[in-house]
């Protein structure tokens, strides 16, 4: 489509440039001997009432028609965008005033305003163009206002205001560049609309006046005899259609180009081989899990060779910083990966059943009844338009076919479990606090009596005191229902306090698994050690700087062959850059992926150089 | 270098069910060269207070005094005068920098708000500012999306320092960062205070992080300050029950909580 559009656009530009030079003379030459002729070899589109060649006139009219339309759009867009975008930098009162004005102006239909103003300004090319420009202002202003409101809420604009930048500078440097892209796209499509509208004004006799002419006027003249000779009316009509279509297509192509910078197309998933042998008594058994994600810059592998297993009633923490792959691991287990992602694994068993051997329908059902997910943001995890009761009961009604009354009584039981009164059933999510919503999410997970609860950063959006309540609640649930809990968090202190066993992830792999009580002093991987050290503690010496991890996590697009932590590691040796260390047993409970693990020290504070 | 006094400050927001008092007659004082940490949970009014001081939010009562002079923001000129004294760094590293401006342009813009600088002086100033926040000067020609969250937040700090303010207001600047990155930013803040003698208002909900950089900690709840004391005192002998609850809720690897690990 891009090529077609380019060809159409070029033809218009060339016609507008050379049309008047080549055909201008013949378009204006009257020929009394050939008045109102039909199509012939000499005059393919016929002639008008003065005997002028219509083909030449249509071609010559390209320039005035396009110029007027473009001028109208540019004027209207400039005025509208400035008006709308200024709302981002004005004082609150002025901003409300301008926004109100824009909304008021939008109430009038643009075309009617244009016709009214064309009459007011006086019939003529300039008047019609101005009228159309003014009529277009509210639309552009509204769009710019909406886009600018997005920029106005950003921290960088607030910082620029505090810097004391003047308003015009804020507008030019910070607001307009950030909203220019969508505005340019809509201006392009608006040019097509403006062309049609201007032709309409000319057609009605409000636009270009004789002896000047544009397509609208030619259409008007041709229409008088359309039943005798259709072509003189059709030709300018087709020209209008062609030009308007070109602008529409141009807008589409440009918008398409912008959108293509988004995610890459989806890859097809290979068929999954059946899982390895089941181990007895495991709620979750994952071996060698990998995830591939297509990105605009190439395919990345954010999860590589992750193995983990949970026994009933166990709380396991999965810690890592952003980009470590901890959340994707959870999503891969729950079959909730974003579109386009590919999963590979040797074994994936939930409650002993092999998820790879199931049909998609069976798998969904097994996951829905065996697994509960609790997400970070309770505000968006609940459907805001449904009552709590509906959301709590829909799973059991769908999967276990429970009756309405039975489901309702189970729901109030579940709410009692999470220490919420049954009255909450009748409320909607927005009437609850963040902590209450997270409790509702947990209650909703409990409804299916899951064997495994995956909690992905369930307390990150909550305050510390509420966080404490939620972790306490999760431990009680674990004790009473013997469900296993996989607790994912970036907060190593919280994980260390709340979990029994901890898996530490870095750059897509598990680098250390250890009992939680060894986190404070017994970590062996340099990264885990550094991570623990960098947590500010209430009892820490406040006169010393916090130990940090120098450098940045590796680029997922360019994975190195060796240990992923090697470039940042204080204990690295040549061997580390060549081969990635496997996750190996130190003792029964402790595994580490490091060639040269940190020795166990009595005083962990001195283990890592700051 | 600049002292801040806030007395009886009140901020109201228009909520869905009428006006909500976000800050309710708060008074606080930051003597020159010291750091006040302001902790509180979400909705306690700490950000509204910080924003009201720099004129980003509404102010419905009370006074703000900088070096003993009352601050009023009526015109752009007032705002510029205030901007020379007080700068702010905000929470979100994703929108902290203009996505279309390189680090260099961002810093040059800030450095030239009050001073004219020629080309070599600009380059030197950019390198100096980046050095101040511990960033490699080679990052100057990058766009924000080519930087990590911690780097972006440090560029935002450098931008605030470019006008050489006497008081820096940091509103939840480490909340969106990973722990290891948070440690680096906290260290940067401490270094700056030592090198430049900045006064600072450090707002946050992470009590250990706030305590790490503050001389005095004020605890805010429901729009009021319930307790304010030197950091050591508030950690050792918290007076208000809410402060005690807050301290008890902080997870720690080194001191297990009283109720212990679930067994």
- The mean per-residue pLDDT over the stretch A328-335 comes to 90
In the predicted structure, residue B190 carries a pLDDT above the cut 50:
yes
Q: What's the pLDDT at B259? A: 46
Whether complex ipTM tops 0.90? no
Tell me the pLDDT band of B74, cut-offs 50, 70 and 90: confident
H/E element, B247: helix B241-249
Tell me the pLDDT band of A259, cut-offs 50, 70 and 90: low
Contact B253 A532 (CB under 8 A): yes
Name which of A92, A322, A468 is nearest B249 (Cβ-Cβ): A468
Nearest CA in chain A to B74: A91
Q: What pLDDT, in 10s, does the model give residues A369-423?
A: 889 888 887 777 788 888 888 888 887 788 777 788 888 888 888 888 888 888 8
Q: What's the pLDDT at A254? A: 86
In the predicted structure, residue A352 carries a pLDDT above the cut 80:
yes
Across A71-75, A191-195, A537-541, least confident range: A537-541
In the predicted structure, residue B114 carries a pLDDT above the cut 80:
yes
Q: What pLDDT, in 10s, does the model give residues A234-253?
A: 888 999 999 999 999 998 88
Q: What's the pLDDT at A361? A: 86
Q: What's the pLDDT at A260? A: 63
> How close is the nearest chain A Cα to the Cα of B116, in Å?
14
Residue B72 touches partner A, C-beta closer than 8 Å: no
- The mean per-residue pLDDT over the stretch B182-211 comes to 89
> How close is the nearest chain A Cα to the Cα of B5, in Å?
19
Chain B positions touching A498 (Cβ under 8 A) are 251, 261-262
Tell me the pLDDT band of B157, cut-offs 50, 70 and 90: very high
Chain A positions touching B206 (Cβ under 8 A) are 536
For chains A and B, CB pairs below 8 A equal 183
Q: Are strands A452-456 and A484-489 parallel, antiparallel or unpaired?
A: parallel
Contact A178 B98 (CB under 8 A): yes
Chain B positions touching A500 (Cβ under 8 A) are 261
- The mean per-residue pLDDT over the stretch A255-262 comes to 69
Q: What pLDDT, in 10s, does the model give residues A283-318?
A: 999 999 999 988 877 888 999 999 999 999 999 999
Q: What is the DSSP letter of A551?
A: S
Substitution target in A150, A314, A481, A548 with the highest count of B β-carbons within 10 Å is: A548
Closest CA to A326 of A488, A204, A474: A488
Chain B positions touching A173 (Cβ under 8 A) are 98, 101, 109
- The mean per-residue pLDDT over the stretch A427-444 comes to 85
Cα separation of A520 and A538, whole Å?
14
Cα separation of A418 and B248, whole Å?
22
Q: What pLDDT, in 10s, does the model give residues A501-534?
A: 999 999 999 999 999 999 988 899 999 999 998 8
> How close is the nearest chain A Cα to the Cα of B252, in Å?
5
- The mean per-residue pLDDT over the stretch B68-72 comes to 86
Q: What percent of chain B has pLDDT over 90?
A: 46
Chain A positions touching B86 (Cβ under 8 A) are 162
Q: What's the pLDDT at A99? A: 92
In the predicted structure, residue B244 carries a pLDDT above the cut 90:
yes
Q: What is the DSSP letter of A175?
A: I
Q: What is the 3-state secondary structure (H, E, C) of B208-231?
A: HHHHHHCCEEEEEECCEEEEEEEH
Q: What's the pLDDT at B23? A: 92
Q: What percent of chain A has pLDDT over 70?
A: 96
Q: What pLDDT, in 10s, does the model give residues A79-138?
A: 999 999 999 888 888 899 999 999 999 999 988 899 899 889 887 888 889 999 999 999
Contact B253 A519 (CB under 8 A): yes
Q: What pLDDT, in 10s, does the model give residues A208-226?
A: 887 888 888 888 888 888 8
Name which of A162, A315, A466 is nearest B54 (Cβ-Cβ): A162
Sheet holding A371-374, edge to edge: A371-374, A452-456, A484-489, A315-319, A501-506, A509-515, A591-592, A584-585
Q: How would DSSP label each residue in A292-343?
A: EEEETTEEEEEEEEEEEEE-TT-EEEEE--TTSSHHHHHHHHTT-PPTT-EE
Chain B positions touching A515 (Cβ under 8 A) are none
In the predicted structure, residue A270 carries a pLDDT above the cut 60:
no
Contact A545 B190 (CB under 8 A): yes
In the predicted structure, residue A158 carries a pLDDT above the cut 80:
yes
Whether the CB-CB separation of A161 and A153 falls below 8 Å is answered with no
Q: What pLDDT, in 10s, does the model give residues A566-589?
A: 998 988 898 899 999 999 998 889
Whether the CB-CB separation of A202 and A194 falls below 8 Å is answered with no
Helix, coil or strand: residue A555? coil
Phi, psi of A286 (to 5 degrees): -120, 130
Q: What's the pLDDT at A272? A: 61
Interface of B with A in 147-166 (CB under 8 A): 148-149, 156, 159-160, 163
In the predicted structure, residue A560 carries a pLDDT above the cut 80:
yes
What proportions of chain A, in percent to the nearest 5, are helix, strand and coil? Answer: 55, 10, 35
In terms of DSSP H, where are the helices of A487-565?
Answer: 492-498, 526-533
Substitution target in B175, B183, B187, B213 with the highest count of A β-carbons within 10 Å is: B183
Substitution target in B214, B253, B255, B259 with the highest count of A β-carbons within 10 Å is: B253
As a whole number of Å, the CA-based R_g of chain A is 35
Contact A322 B149 (CB under 8 A): yes
In the predicted structure, residue B260 carries a pLDDT above the cut 50:
no
In the predicted structure, residue B227 carries a pLDDT above the cut 60:
yes
Nearest CA in chain A to B190: A545
Contacts of B150 (CB under 8 A, 6+ apart): B93, B177, B178, B181, B182, B184, B185
Phi, psi of A490 (to 5 degrees): -95, -10
- Average pLDDT of chain A to the nearest whole number: 86
Contact A532 B79 (CB under 8 A): no
Phi, psi of B176 (to 5 degrees): -95, 10
Instruction: Tell me the CA distances in angstroms from B43 to B6, B39, B250, one per residue in order.
Output: 20, 11, 18
Chain A positions touching B204 (Cβ under 8 A) are none
Q: What is the DSSP letter of A599?
A: P
Residue B71 touches partner A, C-beta closer than 8 Å: no
Count how many Cα atoms sit within 13 Å of the Cα of residue A190 in the half-sphere of its side chain. 27
Interface of B with A in 39-58 (CB under 8 A): 41-42, 54-56, 58
Contact B41 A465 (CB under 8 A): yes
Rounded to a whole number, what is the largest CA-CA distance in chain B? 67
Q: What's the pLDDT at A273? A: 67
Contact A535 B42 (CB under 8 A): no
Instruction: Tell me the CA distances in angstroms from A162 to A221, B75, B88, one per residue in order.
Output: 61, 13, 7
**Residue A14 token pair:** 């060339």
- The mean per-residue pLDDT over the stretch B25-37 comes to 93
Q: What pLDDT, in 10s, does the model give residues A59-84?
A: 888 888 899 999 999 999 999 999 99
In the predicted structure, residue A41 carries a pLDDT above the cut 90:
no
> How close is the nearest chain B Cα to the Cα of A334, in Å?
25
Substitution target in A164, A463, A482 with the highest count of B β-carbons within 10 Å is: A164
Contact B179 A472 (CB under 8 A): no
- The mean per-residue pLDDT over the stretch B50-62 comes to 87
Q: What's the pLDDT at B261? A: 43
Chain B positions touching A540 (Cβ under 8 A) are 208, 212
Q: Which of B104 and A256 is assigned the larger pLDDT? A: B104
Give the angle A501-A503-A507 at the CA atoms, nearest 5°.
170
Chain B positions touching A534 (Cβ under 8 A) are 179-180, 182-183
- The mean per-residue pLDDT over the stretch A157-162 comes to 88
Contact B208 A536 (CB under 8 A): yes
Count how many Cα atoms sit within 13 Å of the Cα of residue A186 in the half-sphere of its side chain. 19
Sheet holding B69-70, edge to edge: B18-30, B4-15, B61-66, B69-70
């Amino acid at each position: 489509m891009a090529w077609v559009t380019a060809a159409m656009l070029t033809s218009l530009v060339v016609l507008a440039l050379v049309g008047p030079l080549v055909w201008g003379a013949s378009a204006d030459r009257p020929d009394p001997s050939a008045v109102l002729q039909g199509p012939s070899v000499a005059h393919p589109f016929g002639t008008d009432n003065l005997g002028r060649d219509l083909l030449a006139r249509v071609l010559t009219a390209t320039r005035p028609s396009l110029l007027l339309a473009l001028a109208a759009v540019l004027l209207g867009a400039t005025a509208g965008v400035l008006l709308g975008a200024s709302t981002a930098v004005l004082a609150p009162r002025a901003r409300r005033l301008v926004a109100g004005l824009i909304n008021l102006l939008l109430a009038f239909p643009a075309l009617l305003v244009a016709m009214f103003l064309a009459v007011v300004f006086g019939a003529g090319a300039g008047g019609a163009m101005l009228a159309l420009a003014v009529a277009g202002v509210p639309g552009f202003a509204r769009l710019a206002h909406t886009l600018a409101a997005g920029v106005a809420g950003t921290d960088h604009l607030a910082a620029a205001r505090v810097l004391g930048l003047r308003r015009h500078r804020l507008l030019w440097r910070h607001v307009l560049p950030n909203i220019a892209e969508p505005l340019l796209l809509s201006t392009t499509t608006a040019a097509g609309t403006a062309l049609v509208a201007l032709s309409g004004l000319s057609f009605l006799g409000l636009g270009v006046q004789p002896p000047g002419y544009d397509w609208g006027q030619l259409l008007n003249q041709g229409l008088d005899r359309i039943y005798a000779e259709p072509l003189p009316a059709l030709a300018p009509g087709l020209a209008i259609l062609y030009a308007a279509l070109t602008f529409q297509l141009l807008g589409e192509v440009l918008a398409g180009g912008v959108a293509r910078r988004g995610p890459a197309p989806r890859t097809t998933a290979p068929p999954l081989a059946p899982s390895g042998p089941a181990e007895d008594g495991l709620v979750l058994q994952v071996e060698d899990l990998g995830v591939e994600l297509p990105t605009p810059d190439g395919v990345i592998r954010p999860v590589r060779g992750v193995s983990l297993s949970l026994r009933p009633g166990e709380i396991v923490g999965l810690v890592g910083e952003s980009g470590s792959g901890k959340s994707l691991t959870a999503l891969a287990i729950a079959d909730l990966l974003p579109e386009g992602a590919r999963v590979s694994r040797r074994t994936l068993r939930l409650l002993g059943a092999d998820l790879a051997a199931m049909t998609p329908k069976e798998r969904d059902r097994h996951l829905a009844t065996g697994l509960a997910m609790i997400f970070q943001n309770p505000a968006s995890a609940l459907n805001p338009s449904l009552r709590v009761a509906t959301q709590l009961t829909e799973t059991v009604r769908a999967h276990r076919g429970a009756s309405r009354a039975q489901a309702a009584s189970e729901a109030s039981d579940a709410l009692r479990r999470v220490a919420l009164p049954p009255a909450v059933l009748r409320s909607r999510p927005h009437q609850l606090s963040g902590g209450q919503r997270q409790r509702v999410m947990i209650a909703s997970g409990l409804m299916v009596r899951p064997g495994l609860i995956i909690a992905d950063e369930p307390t990150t959006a909550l305050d510390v005191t509420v966080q404490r309540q939620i972790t306490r609640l999760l431990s009680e649930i674990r004790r009473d229902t013997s469900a296993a809990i996989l607790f994912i968090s970036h907060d190593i202190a919280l994980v260390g306090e709340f979990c029994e066993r901890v898996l530490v992830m870095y750059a897509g792999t598990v680098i250390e698994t250890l009992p939680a009580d060894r986190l404070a002093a017994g970590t062996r991987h340099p990264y885990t050690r550094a991570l623990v050290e960098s947590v500010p503690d209430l009892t820490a010496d406040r006169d010393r700087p916090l130990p940090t991890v120098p450098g940045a996590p590796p680029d997922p697009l360019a994975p190195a062959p060796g240990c992923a932590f090697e470039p940042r590691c204080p204990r690295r040796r040549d061997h580390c850059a060549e081969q990635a260390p496997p996750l190996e047993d130190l003792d029964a409970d402790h595994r580490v992926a490091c060639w040269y693990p940190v020795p166990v020290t009595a005083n962990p504070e001195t283990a890592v150089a700051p | 270098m600049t002292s801040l006094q806030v007395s009886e400050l009140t901020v109201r927001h228009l909520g869905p069910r009428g006006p909500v008092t976000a800050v309710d007659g708060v008074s606080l004082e930051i003597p020159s060269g010291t750091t006040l940490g302001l902790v509180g949970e979400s909705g306690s009014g700490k950000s509204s207070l910080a924003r009201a001081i720099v004129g980003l939010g509404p102010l419905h009562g009370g006074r703000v005094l900088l070096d003993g002079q009352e601050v009023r923001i009526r015109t752009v000129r007032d705002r510029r005068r205030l901007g020379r004294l007080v700068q702010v760094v905000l929470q979100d590293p994703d929108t902290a920098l203009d996505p279309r401006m390189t680090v260099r342009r961002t810093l040059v813009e800030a450095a030239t708000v009050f001073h004219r600088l020629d080309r070599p002086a600009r380059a030197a100033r950019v390198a100096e500012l980046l050095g101040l926040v511990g960033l490699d000067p080679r990052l100057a020609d990058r766009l924000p999306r080519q930087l990590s969250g911690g780097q972006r937040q440090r560029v935002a700090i450098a931008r605030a320092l470019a006008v050489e303010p006497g008081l820096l207001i940091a509103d939840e600047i480490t909340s969106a960062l990973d722990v290891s990155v948070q440690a680096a930013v906290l260290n940067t803040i401490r270094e700056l205070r030592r090198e430049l003698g900045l006064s600072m208002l450090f707002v946050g909900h992470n009590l250990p992080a706030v305590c790490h950089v503050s001389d005095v900690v004020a605890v805010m709840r429901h729009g009021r300050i319930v307790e304010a004391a030197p950091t050591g005192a508030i950690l050792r002998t918290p007076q208000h029950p809410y402060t005690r609850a807050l301290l008890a809720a902080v997870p720690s690897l080194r001191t297990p909580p009283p109720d212990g690990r679930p067994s």
